[in-house]
Amino acid sequence: MKLAVELDGGQHNRGEAKKYDAVRSEYLEVKGIEVMRFWDNEVLLDMESVLSELGRKVTPPYLPSVSSRNDLS
């Protein structure tokens, strides 16, 4: 998994910056890099939710435990 995390301030919600961000995100996604964006104030005011969302993205799906794998053989 390749992941880019962007923290955006208010200027990213305006005209040219918004277009630039969209083009850059598209470029990264074509290269196989997923982009997650968060607003600066989200990080400053609710870091726990941001970390939780990032955790859900990077945590692999359920994998069988070692004992379960031994039962399969």
Domain boundaries, the chain: 3-62
The region that residue 36 occupies, defined by phi over 0 for left and psi between -120 and 50 for alpha, beta otherwise, is beta
| pLDDT of the residue at 72 | 53
35-46: pLDDT as tens digits: 999 999 999 999
Structure tokens at 23: 């083009």
3-class SS shares of the chain: helix, strand, coil, % to 5: 60, 15, 20
13-36: per-residue pLDDT in tens? 667 778 888 899 999 999 999 999
